[in-house]
Amino acid sequence: MTNCREHDAALDDVAAGAAANIDFATHLRTCAGCAAELERRRALLARIDEVTRALMNVSLSADIVVHVDRPQPWRIAVVGAVLAAALVVLFVAGHVLRGPVSGQTVVTWQSPTADLLRPTESVLDTRAL
């Protein structure tokens, strides 16, 4: 019984359907307590599965089905708002990507420092005096 605690995690895994490793399988053959605990956990998991399946197979009442099938006004509003936003984005993106309308003059960008980089009179030039 001293190494039963070492196999506690394996009990859950094997009870849930995992294959037992060699050490745990050997331990189960020699330890009646762990073998019984494994069967108890398998039965518990089987019962949980059974109850879960029963709960999932419950049919919905007619008034719930009618309520779910009816279109919700807020959903229509959300869909409309999303479509309107998409149209605005497409319009703006098309306008920006299309470039200037024909007939408009495009002004080329020039660096503000371009004038500073042009050669001017030298400070050492004495002719200017």
Is the separation of the CB atoms in 28 and 38 below 8 Å? yes
d(CA 26, CA 19): 13
Contact 41, 47 (CB under 8 A): no
- CA 80 remoteness from chain centre: 25
pLDDT < 70 positions in the chain: 1-2, 58-71, 98-107, 109, 112, 114-129
CA gap 27, 4 in Å, rounded: 8
Tens of pLDDT along 18-49?
Answer: 898 898 899 999 999 999 999 999 999 999 98
What DSSP assignment string belongs to 24-71?
HHHHHHH-HHHHHHHHHHHHHHHHHHHHHHHHHTPPPPHHHHHHHHSP
Query: What are the distances in angstroms from CA 36 to CA 28, 29, 41, 89?
Result: 9, 11, 9, 66
Residue 64: its pLDDT value, please? 65
The reported pLDDT for the residue numbered 1 is 46
Give the pLDDT of residue 86: 93
What average pLDDT is seen over the chain?
78
Q: What angle do CA 53, 58, 59 make, to 5 degrees?
A: 145
Q: What's the pLDDT score for residue 5?
A: 84
